[in-house]
Amino acid sequence: MTFSHSIGLVGATGAVGRKFLQVLNEQGIVPKSLRLFASEKSKGSKIAFQGKEYTVEAVNESDFSGLQVVFFSAGTEISQEYCPKVAKAGAIVIDNSNAFRADPEVPLVVPEVNPNALKKHKGLISNPNCSTIQMLVAIAPIHRINPIKRIVVSTYQSVSGTGIEAIEILEKQTKATLAHEKPPAGVYPHQIGFNLFPHIDIFLKNGLCREEEKMINETRKILEDTNIAICPTTVRVPIFYCHSEAVNLELSKPFELSQVRELLSKSPGIKMMDDPNNNVYPTPLQCQDKDDVFIGRLRRDESLSNGLNMWVVSDNLRRGAASNGVFIYQRLVQDKMI
């Protein structure tokens, strides 16, 4: 397969944008041409990629004609304004924001889970939320053979999901606290250094926060099953990279734990780390900068019939964002849709 197309990247100077470039390079994708875009304040800055130096263009001043694939990692407002324009100019847009995930006309895709949804695209494809991606890579193989009735998930999400400013404030607050100084305020409503809080994004009228709502709606859309009951609690924790999730499933039918373990160990995108007697289970430090979804502590939930527990860890900037977008592009090429 040939992965040589005219590629654009909007949000190239951010944490996810830089990770897109890293993943493209690691996957051996050499663009026929490459253009990098960011906000006005980053215009003219230089980024090195595959031995060349590229000048960042201001997205609000740019003409996108001639591009074949454009990755967006610049946030919801930018995506809402520019994704339709770029798609109209002829490119396939792979958007990492929340702007179009709920749109029934826009496929929401995890390539290991619902690649057939790509056939319905009309120039615009959405990358799901990072916490949704890793959970679905882990549970979709089970759902295919033993439908899931209910999901209870608690997430432990790193600050890199918020962006570079959050990474910097965690470092500053940690240093200040260790030095017995007053920690500086940052991008969160509470100190995150040596702390945690039980919400990601804003609270909604129904008591959920937006991240929890995303997990519910996106899971149902991707699995094409509106009957799954889903109860998420999303928590921000003071680590730099990788999201962790405690996932509890209620399945429709009885199961053998050994068969579930074998199924998951053979499923794409999954790596089992499940030997608790020897303290083998995934942790964020072990899973950082990797594309797999790591699963451990696989066990029965004996409090209900057909209950299953698992611990799921994945790098939110890679598997939960950039890598998923690149995998979408690779699938489009593999299936000759580009």
| Residue pLDDT, tens place only, 87-104 | 999 999 999 999 999 999
Is residue 161 predicted with pLDDT exceeding 90? yes
Predicted local distance difference test score (pLDDT) of residue 82: 97
Cβ-contact 1, 69 below 8 angstroms: no
Residues with Cβ within 8 Å of residue 338, at least 6 apart in sequence: 5, 68, 69, 92, 329, 332
SS3 178: helix
Mean pLDDT in residue range 193-204: 97
Which residues are known catalytic residues? 130, 243
For the chain, helix (H) and strand (E) counts, in that order, are 8, 14
Domain residue limits, the chain: 6-128+321-334, 132-315
Is residue 249 predicted with pLDDT exceeding 70? yes
Q: How confident is the model at residue 2 (pLDDT cuts 50, 70, 90)?
A: confident
Cβ-contact 292, 319 below 8 angstroms: yes
Residues with Cβ within 8 Å of residue 206, at least 6 apart in sequence: none
Burial of 222 (C-beta count, 10 Å sphere; 0-12/13-18/19+): buried
Q: How far apart are CA 251 and CA 68, in angstroms?
A: 42
Which fold does the domain 132-315 belong to in CATH? Dihydrodipicolinate Reductase; domain 2 (3.30.360)
Q: How far apart are CA 326 and CA 23, in angstroms?
A: 7
Q: How confident is the model at residue 166 (pLDDT cuts 50, 70, 90)?
A: very high
Predicted local distance difference test score (pLDDT) of residue 131: 98
Mean pLDDT in residue range 59-63: 93
Selected from 3.90.1170.20, 3.40.50.720, 3.40.50.300, 3.40.190.100, the CATH number assigned to the domain covering 6-128+321-334 reads: 3.40.50.720
Secondary structure (DSSP) of 70-100: EEE-S-HHHHHHHHHHHHHTTPEEEE-SSSS
Q: How many residues does the chain have?
A: 338
Predicted local distance difference test score (pLDDT) of residue 38: 96
Percent of the chain with pLDDT over 90: 98
Q: For the whole prediction, is pTM greater than 0.75? A: yes
* The residue to which tokens 């611990």 are assigned: 311
- What single-letter DSSP state applies at residue 32? S
Mean pLDDT (the chain) is 97
Predicted local distance difference test score (pLDDT) of residue 1: 67
Predicted local distance difference test score (pLDDT) of residue 267: 98
Tokens matching residue 86 = 């770029």
Cβ-contact 50, 7 below 8 angstroms: no
Is residue 58 predicted with pLDDT exceeding 80? yes
Could you read off the pLDDT of 282-327 as tens digits, one per residue?
A: 999 999 999 999 999 999 999 999 999 999 999 999 999 999 999 9
User: Which range has the worst mean pLDDT, 3-7, 116-120, 255-259, 279-283?
Assistant: 3-7
Secondary structure (DSSP) of 142-167: HHHHS-EEEEEEEEEE-GGGT-HHHH
Residue 297: CB atoms within 10 A of its CB come to 16
Could you read off the pLDDT of 199-248 as tens digits, one per residue?
A: 999 999 999 999 999 999 999 999 999 999 999 999 999 999 999 999 99
Among residues 154, 130, 81, 171, which one has the least CA distance to residue 287? 130
Mean pLDDT in residue range 179-195: 97
